[in-house]
Structure 1
Amino acid sequence: MKVLKFGGKSLANGKGLDSVIAIIEDKVKAKEQIAVVVSARGGATDELEVILEKAVNNQHYLDDFESFKNYQEAANAVVDLTEEFKTLLKIFEGVKLLGDYSKKIKDEVLAQGELISVKTVASLLIEKGIKANATDSRLLIKTDDVFGNAQPNTKASKEHVVNYFKAHNGTTVNIVTGFIGSNNANQTTTLGRNGSNYTASLLASFLNAEELQNYTHVNGIYTANPDLVADAKKISELSFTEANELANFGTTILHAKTIIPLLEKNIPLRILNTFNPNDHGTLITGNSTKKGIKSLSVLDDVALINIEGRGLLGKVGVDARLFNALSINNISVSIVSQGSSERGIGLIIPLEDATKAVIALEKEFETDFYSQDINKISVIDDVSVISIVGQSLRSFHKPFNALIKNQIEPLLFNNTITGENVSLVIKKHQLHKALNVIHGEIFGISKKVNLAIFGHGTVGGTLIEQIIASAEKIEKRKSIKLNIFAIANSKKVLLNKDGISGDWKSQLTENGKAYELNDISNYAETHHLENLIAIDNTSSLEFVSNYLKLVEQGFDLVSSNKIANTIDFNFYNELRASLAKYNKNYLYETNVGAGLPLIDTIKLLHHSGENIVRIRGVFSGSLSYIFNTFSAEEVPFSGVLQEALDKGYTEPNPREDLSGADVARKLLILARELDLHNELEDVNVENLIPVGLREVETAEFLKSFNQLNDSFKTTKLSQKEGHVLRYVGDLYGDLSDENGAKLDVKLVSVPKESPLGALKGADSLFEIYTESYGDQPIIIQGAGAGAEVTARGVFGDILRLTDKNN
C-alpha cells in the first residue's frame, strides 16, 4: 500500500482539485493499493479562523461565511455539506453570544474544513466510478486532551486504524481527514501545525505502507523556499535525519513529528508536485547522503525572549527554574542561546505564547528582580529564524560575513552539538534579503550583485553597455551575476529588480520617473535586493553629498567622480568614518589615470610601510596628447588644441583641461592617499589660459586659439637641446609629515630620453619614488583618457568589490 497526502493548495478549486482526482484515478487504474489523506481545501483553515475571530469580537461574519460556503460547494454540486455548515453556524452564533471561545471550540471549527474536504473528494471520485469512502480520522487517531496540539495515543490509534482498514479496504479508496483526532471522550482535537502530514505519516506506519507520497504545490524540497529565493534548487534525495532537521527548523512541507513514524519503519517519503506529476520530486529514506549543507529553513511566527542579569552568573538551578516555569504553562522552546560574561539567556518560543511566557517568567523570578539579580525580561516579537542545515562552524564565517556586509546583524546565534546545523535569529523584515544573501554565498550558485548607476553620459553609458555585454561571461567565469537594477540621471530613474536590458536608453526615456535618492534605496529594500553597489559616473558636486546616505542605506561605492576625494578634508574623513562604521567599501581607481592601477599600487606601498618620497607624472591624457604632439611636430599650438578637441580628447570647453584644475584634483587625491592633510588650495597650479581669455564665453574662447600660439612657441624654443614640454603634477617634500608636502602643477621641460619625455599619444605616466627603490622610480604608464578606458576602469572597480565581498 501507498499513502498519498494532498495539501490545501493542491485541493483548491479548478486545476488543483482536477489534478488530485486525476492522480488518484491513475493510481486506481494502475491497480495500486492506496489510502489518501487530505487537508482542508484551499485556504479553508485560515478562512475559518478569520470568521471565528470576527464572531468572538461581535463583528459581522455572515458575508465571510457565505463566501466560504459558496467556494466549498462550487467544487461539486452533488455533495451534501449541510451538516458541516450547520455545525459551523451554530458554533459561530454561540461564540458571538458568549464573546469567548476555547481551544476545544476552535478545534471543532477547524475540523469542519477537513470533513468538507474528504466528502468533496470522495464524491468526485464516486462520480468517476471509483469506490471511495470519506473517512473521519476522529474515529481512528486517538489523542490526549491537549486541544490545538494534541499528541496521539499510538497503541490505541494503531489498533483503530488497522481494524478500520480491514473492514474498509480492498477495492475501496479511503479518503481520510488529516490534522484531526479525538480524545477518550470523543471530543475533537487537532494535531498542531501541518498536522495533516503527521496523520499521513501515522497511517503509513500503522499500515506498513510501501511509501508515503506527499503532494504539494512545488517539485520537492529545495535548498530554500523558492517563493523567497528565486535561485533555490531542488534536492533529489535526503536522509531521514536531514529531513528531521529541516522539519524541526521550519521547512513548511514537513511536520517536525512526521519523520519519526516513518523512520521507525523505514518507510520512504516522497515529496511530489500535484501540478507536475512527471517530476520525481524529493525522496527521503534511511540512507545517508553526502555531507554538506542541504537547505535553508525558516521558523516564522516566533518570538525572542531575553533574560538578562549579572547577579545570576554562577547561580545553580536558574535554567531549571526557567524551563520549569515555561513547561508548566505548556510553552515549548525551539532554540536556546546562553551568554556567560554578563549572564543572559535568549529563547525562541511560539509567537502566540510570548505574553504568557513573560508573565510566567516574571512570576518565577519575582524575588530575583527585588535582589537585582535579574535586570530585565523582554520580548522581541518581529523575528524569524534561519537554520542552515548541514552548515559546519568551520565555514560559517562566509555566510555570516555576507550578512554583515549587507547590514543584517543577527540577534542570536545557535548551533547544534554536532556543529553541523546553525541557526540565526534576525529581524523579520530582513528575512527575504537574508535568505538570498546566505543562499548565494553557500550553494555555489551565482551571487547576485545589484548595481545602481548614476550618470549615463559618455563614461556612464559606455559602462552600462560593457556590463550588459559581459554579464553572461562574468557569471560563467566568476559565478557573479551583475544586475543593473537602476539607471538614473539628474531628473529621472529607470528601475527593474530583474535587470535593465540593452534597450535601456529608450526605456529610460519612455518609462523613467522623477525620483529622490530614497526612492532607489526603498525600491532595493522592498524587493530585498542584496549586495548593493552605487556607481557615480557624474561630475556633480551635488550628487557627492549623497554618498554618506548611500553608505548608510547599505551601498558600496564606485566612482569616477573626483569631487568626493578633493572637497574639504572634513568631508573626506567623515566619508571614511561612515564606510568603516557600516563596513562598506569605496573604490575610485579611475579618479587618477583612468584605467591604470595607480591608486591601488600607492595604497599597497603606503600600507605596507614603504616610504613614498615623491610622485610625479603626466596626469592628463588630454594635455599629454597636446604637448606630446606640440613638442614632436612643427605645428602651431592652436592647431594641436583644435585637433585634440575634434578627437574628443579634451572637454567640450578645453579651458577645463588647460586651467590645470583637473590635474590639481588628481594630485590632491594621491596626496590624501598618503594620509597628507592637504586641501585643493594648497596645490600650486600653473594656469595655461591667458588671463584675458579665462572669463570670456566658451564660444568666444573656441574662436581665440590663435592667441595662444606666440607664448607657447616662445616656451618651446627656449628649451635646452633635446628637451620637450610636459604638463606635470608633482608631489614632493616631507611626505612623512601630514603637513609637509608640496604640490605643484606646471608646464616643465624634460629630456626627450627620460620616461616623461618619451611619452607618446594620449598616454599618462606616473613616477613613484620610494626610499627602497632609491633613484629608480616605479613607473606606471598607459592610456590616460577616453570613455572606453575610464568605463573599463570603473568596471574593474566593480569586479574588485565583488571579490572583496566574497
Structure 2
Amino acid sequence: MKILKFGGKSLSNGEGLDKVVAIILDKVNQGEKIAVVVSARGNATDELEDLLSIAAKNESYKPLLEQFKLEQQNGFADVDLTEEFNVLEKLFEGVSLIGDYSSKIKDQILSIGEVLSAKLLTAILVKNGVNARFADSRELIKTDSKFGDAQPIEQASKKNVVQYFKENDDAVNIVTGFIASNAKNVTTTLGRNGSNYTASLIANYLNAEELQNYTHVDGIYTANPDLVPDAKKIDYLTFNEANELANFGATILHAKTIIPLLEKNIPLRILNTFNHENKGTLIRSTASKEGIKTLSVLENVALVNLEGRGLLGKTGVDARIFKVMGDNDISVSIISQGSSERGIGLVVAADKASTAMIQLEKEFENDFYSKDVNKISVTDNVSVISIIGQDLSTFHKPYTALIRNKIVPILFNNTVTGKNVSLVVKKSELNRALNVIHGEIFGVSKKINIAIFGHGLVGGTLINQILESATAIEKRKDVKLNIFAIANSKNVLLNKNGVTPNWKNEIQNKGTLYSIQDVIDYANENHLENLIAIDNTASADFVENYIPLIESSFDLISSNKVANTLSYSFYKKLRKVLADNQKTYLYETNVGAGLPLIDTIKLLHLSGENITKIKGVFSGTLSYLFNNFSAKDVPFSEILKEAIDNGYTEPDPREDLCGNDVGRKLLILARELDLQNEFEEIAIQNLIPEHLREGSASEFLTKLKEFDAVYAKIKEEQEPNHVLRYIGELSGDLQSDKGNLEVKLVSVPSDTALGGLKGSDSFFEIYTESYGDRPIVIQGAGAGSAVTARGVFGDILRLSDKG
C-alpha cells in the first residue's frame, strides 16, 4: 500500500481539488492500493484561528464564519457539511460569551478544518465512482492530553489503525490529518504541519510501500526557489539529511515525520500536485552522494545573548540557562559559545525572546550584582541559514563569498558530525546571503551584477561585448554576467534581470534621473550579489562616488584615469577604504588600453624585483601622429587632420597634444611602484605652439597649418636615420619616495624597437635590476574603443574569478 498525503494548497478550490481527484482516480484505475491523508483545505486552519481570536474579543465573528462556510462548501452544495458547521457555531458562540478559550477548545475548533476536507473529498470521489470512505483519525490515533501538541500513544494507535484498515480493506480510506484524541475521546492535535506526522504514523503502522507527500512544489530544492531563483530540485536525500532540513525550518517536512518512516525504512517522496508527472524528491535510507544538499532557512527567530567575563571557568552556567528555557517552554534551535570572553548565544522563536531575556535576568540577578554577568540582550530581525551537508573543511568557500559581499554572520555553529553548518545573519541580508552561498557551493552559474557608468564609445562597446559574449562565458566559465544598471551623467536604466540589446532606446525612453545612492539602494532592495561598478567616464566628479560604492559592497573597474592621478593623499585614502572593505579596484586600461602593462608591473614589484626605469609611447593617438609624420614626406597638419578624421583624437585634439594624458598614465605607473609623486611634479613637453593653446576647439581646427613650420624644423634637425617619438619616462632612484617623471618628444634611431613602431601601437620598455640593459617589452594596440572595452571586459572576468 502507498499512503498519499495532500496539503492545504493542493486541496484548495478550483484547480487544486480537481488535480487531487485526478491523481487519486488515476491510481485507482491503475489498480494501486492507496490510502489518503488530508490537511485542511486552503488556509482553513489559519482562518479558524483568526475567527477564534475575534470571537474571544467579543467582536463580530459571524460574517467571517459565514464566509468561511461558503468557501468550504463552494460548488459542492450536495455534500452535507451541516454537522461540522453547527459544531463551529456553538463553539464560537461559547467563546464569544466567555471572552476566552482553552487549548482544549482551540483543538476542537481547528480539527474541523481537516474533517471538512476529508468529508468533501470522500463525497467527490464517491460521485466519481470510487469506493471512498471517510476515516476520522480521532478514532484511530490516540494521544496524551497535551492539547495543541499532543504525543501519540503508539500501542493503542497502531492497534486501532491496523484493525480499521483490516475491516475497510476494500475502500480508499480518506483520513483526516493533524487531529487525534485522548483516552477520554477528547479531540487533540499533533501540532502545526501535523498532517505529515499523521501520514507517517499510518505508513509505519501499515508497513506502507511508500509515503507520497503532495505539495505545491516539484520537490525539495537546493534552496527556497522564492528566495533563490537559481535553486535546483534535489532528486534524492537520506533520512538524516531530511531530518536536518526539518529541524532547520524546511516547512515542507514536519520535524517528527521522519522517525516513523526511518523505523520501517519506508521511502518518502515529495511530489507536486500541479505537476504530478514529475518524479519529485525521494527520501530514503540508502546514502546518496556525499556533499552539500540544500540550504534551509529559519525565520521569525531572535538571538538571545548572555555575556559575562566573570563566568569564565564557572561550572553549571549552561545548566542554569537551559533550566530557564525548559521551565518556560522555550525551544533553543542553535547555541553558540565563546571561550576567551564568556558569551553564549541562543536562537529562539521571535515571540519567545522577550520572555527568555526577562527570565534569564531573574535567574542571573545576583551575577549582575557581582558583575560576573555584564549583559543579557536580544537581537531581533535575524534569520538562520543552515547548509545541510556542509563539511567544515570546505566552509571557507561560502564564508569568504559572504565576506566578499559585505555580509558578516553574527554567529555560526556546526553539528556534532561536522556535516551541517548554521549561520545567523541579519534578516535584511537573508536573500542576498542565500544567493551568495548558493551560487558559491552549487553547480549553478555564479552571478556577477554589473553597473556601468558611461555608455559612450568605450562604455557602449563594452555593453555590447558583454551582451554578445554572456551566453558563451556562462557555458565556459560558469559565470553569469548581468548588467543591471547603465547610466550616464543624468539618467539611469535599471533592470535586476539584466538589460537587453535594445538598451540604447530603453535608456532614452525609460531612463530616470538618479543619484549614486539610487543605484546602491536598488542593488540592496533586489538582494543583488557580487557587485561591480564600472567607470567608463572621463569625469573627475564621478570619482567622488568610488568610496560610497566600495562601502556598499561594489568592486570597482575603471577606464577613467582620474582617481589614480588625483592627490597622493586621495590615492592612499582610496586604497585604505578598499582594504577596510575587502574590495578590489582594477584599472588595467588606464595606461595601455588592452595591454597587460599594469599587471606586469604589479607582479614584478610585488615579487621584489627592482624596477629601474620605465619608458615608452603611452598614447596611441600620438603614436599614430609621429609614426606617420616620420615615415611620410607630408606636413604635420595633414597627418593631424587624418588622425582627427579617423576619430583617433579627442573632439578637441589639444587634449592629446598637450601631453597631460601621457603624464597621467606615467604617474599611474609611478604610484604602482609606491612612489609618492604628484601630477604637478611631472615635466611635460606641450606639443601645441603657445599661441594655439587658447581659444575654442573649432577655432583651433582652422589653424592646424601653423604646426607645419615648427615640426618641419624639428624633423630636419634630427640625425640621419632617426625618427620622432613622444614618450613618457620614469627614472631616478625608484626605491625612494619619488622618481623623475618626464613626458617629451625625442629622436631615436629608426632601427631600434622604439624607432620601428607602426600605426597607433603603444610601446613600453620596463628595465629591471635582474634583466639589466635588456628590457621587458610590451607592445600592441594602445588606443580604440574596442581595445579599451576589451581590456575592461578582461578586468570583469578577472574579478569574477576572484575568491
TM-score range, shorter chain: over 0.9
For the structure 1 residues 53 and 566, does the alpha-carbon distance in structure 2 shift closer, same or farther, using more than 3 Å as the test?
farther
Letter in 1 for 2:669: L
Listed as ranges, the gaps of 5+ residues in structure 2 are: none
CA RMSD of aligned residues (A): 1.8
Aligned to 2:321: 322
For the structure 1 residues 617 and 88, does the alpha-carbon distance in structure 2 shift closer, same or farther, using more than 3 Å as the test?
farther
- Higher deviation after alignment, 270-279 or 181-190: 181-190
For residues 102-159 of structure 1, the C-alpha deviation after alignment (integer angstroms, 9 at most, x for no partner) is: 4444333322222221122122212212232233322222222333322222222212
Aligned to 1:789: 787
CA drift of 1:782 comes to: 0.9
For the structure 1 residues 626 and 315, does the alpha-carbon distance in structure 2 shift closer, same or farther, using more than 3 Å as the test?
same
For the structure 1 residues 61 and 525, does the alpha-carbon distance in structure 2 shift closer, same or farther, using more than 3 Å as the test?
farther
Distance 2:89 2:350 in 1: 29
Aligned to 1:382: 381
For residues 202-233 of structure 1, the C-alpha deviation after alignment (integer angstroms, 9 at most, x for no partner) is: 01101111111100111111211222222222
Aligned to 1:34: 34
Q: Percent identity, aligned pairs only?
A: 66
- Higher deviation after alignment, 696-705 or 749-758: 749-758
What is the correspondence of 1:375-774 to structure 2 with a 5 Å cutoff? Answer: 375-738=374-737, 740-774=738-772
Aligned to 1:166: 166
Say whether residues 1:145 and 2:142 are aligned partners: no
CA drift of 1:504 comes to: 1.4
For the structure 1 residues 565 and 52, does the alpha-carbon distance in structure 2 shift closer, same or farther, using more than 3 Å as the test?
farther
Q: Helix, strand or coil for the counterpart of 1:125?
A: helix
Distance 2:310 2:154 in 1: 45
Contact preservation (8 Å) 1:198, 1:257: yes
CA drift of 1:82 comes to: 3.5
Letter in 2 for 1:288: A
CA drift of 1:800 comes to: 0.4
Letter in 2 for 1:720: E
Distance 2:629 2:99 in 1: 95
For the structure 1 residues 97 and 639, does the alpha-carbon distance in structure 2 shift closer, same or farther, using more than 3 Å as the test?
farther
- Higher deviation after alignment, 246-255 or 777-786: 246-255
Q: Helix, strand or coil for the counterpart of 1:545?
A: helix
Q: Helix, strand or coil for the counterpart of 1:176?
A: strand
Aligned to 1:119: 119
Distance 2:62 2:650 in 1: 73
Distance 1:755 1:92 in 2: 96
Distance 1:542 1:97 in 2: 71
Distance 2:98 2:380 in 1: 30
TM-score, normalised to structure 2's length?
A: 0.97
For residues 605-654 of structure 1, the C-alpha deviation after alignment (integer angstroms, 9 at most, x for no partner) is: 11222222221111100001001111111110000001111111111111
Contact preservation (8 Å) 1:454, 1:534: yes
Aligned to 1:71: 71
Aligned to 1:800: 798
Distance 1:452 1:110 in 2: 52
CA drift of 1:97 comes to: 5.4
For the structure 1 residues 334 and 121, does the alpha-carbon distance in structure 2 shift closer, same or farther, using more than 3 Å as the test?
same
Distance 1:62 1:588 in 2: 69
For the structure 1 residues 193 and 484, does the alpha-carbon distance in structure 2 shift closer, same or farther, using more than 3 Å as the test?
same
Distance 2:718 2:60 in 1: 98
Q: Helix, strand or coil for the counterpart of 1:9?
A: coil
Aligned to 2:284: 285
Contact preservation (8 Å) 1:75, 1:120: no
CA drift of 1:728 comes to: 1.1
CA drift of 1:35 comes to: 1.3
Q: Helix, strand or coil for the counterpart of 2:801?
A: helix
Q: Helix, strand or coil for the counterpart of 2:734?
A: coil
Distance 1:382 1:45 in 2: 26
For residues 377-432 of structure 1, the C-alpha deviation after alignment (integer angstroms, 9 at most, x for no partner) is: 11223121111111111111111101111111111111112211111111122222
Listed as ranges, the gaps of 5+ residues in structure 1 are: none
- Higher deviation after alignment, 107-116 or 89-98: 89-98
CA drift of 1:62 comes to: 4.8
For residues 519-578 of structure 1, the C-alpha deviation after alignment (integer angstroms, 9 at most, x for no partner) is: 222222222211111111111122111111111111111111111111222322222211
Distance 1:112 1:432 in 2: 37
Contact preservation (8 Å) 1:78, 1:123: no
For the structure 1 residues 603 and 631, does the alpha-carbon distance in structure 2 shift closer, same or farther, using more than 3 Å as the test?
same
Letter in 2 for 1:16: G
Q: Helix, strand or coil for the counterpart of 1:500?
A: coil
Distance 1:611 1:88 in 2: 88
Q: Helix, strand or coil for the counterpart of 1:656?
A: helix
Distance 2:754 2:95 in 1: 92
For the structure 1 residues 56 and 781, does the alpha-carbon distance in structure 2 shift closer, same or farther, using more than 3 Å as the test?
farther
- Higher deviation after alignment, 311-320 or 243-252: 243-252
For the structure 1 residues 249 and 621, does the alpha-carbon distance in structure 2 shift closer, same or farther, using more than 3 Å as the test?
same
TM-score, normalised to structure 1's length?
A: 0.96
CA drift of 1:54 comes to: 4.2
CA drift of 1:93 comes to: 4.9
Say whether residues 1:777 and 2:788 are aligned partners: no
Distance 2:148 2:31 in 1: 38
Distance 1:598 1:701 in 2: 34
CA drift of 1:713 comes to: 0.9
Letter in 1 for 2:459: G
For the structure 1 residues 788 and 76, does the alpha-carbon distance in structure 2 shift closer, same or farther, using more than 3 Å as the test?
same
Contact preservation (8 Å) 1:724, 1:752: yes
For the structure 1 residues 674 and 492, does the alpha-carbon distance in structure 2 shift closer, same or farther, using more than 3 Å as the test?
same
Distance 1:111 1:159 in 2: 22
Distance 1:470 1:505 in 2: 18
Aligned to 1:240: 239
Distance 2:54 2:677 in 1: 69
Q: Helix, strand or coil for the counterpart of 2:274?
A: coil
For the structure 1 residues 696 and 154, does the alpha-carbon distance in structure 2 shift closer, same or farther, using more than 3 Å as the test?
same
Matched positions, count:
803
For the structure 1 residues 647 and 424, does the alpha-carbon distance in structure 2 shift closer, same or farther, using more than 3 Å as the test?
same
For the structure 1 residues 119 and 773, does the alpha-carbon distance in structure 2 shift closer, same or farther, using more than 3 Å as the test?
same
For the structure 1 residues 691 and 323, does the alpha-carbon distance in structure 2 shift closer, same or farther, using more than 3 Å as the test?
same
Aligned to 1:20: 20
Distance 1:182 1:30 in 2: 35
For residues 312-340 of structure 1, the C-alpha deviation after alignment (integer angstroms, 9 at most, x for no partner) is: 11111111111122112222222221110
For the structure 1 residues 326 and 76, does the alpha-carbon distance in structure 2 shift closer, same or farther, using more than 3 Å as the test?
same
What is the correspondence of 1:181-192 to structure 2 with a 5 Å cutoff? Answer: 181-192=180-191
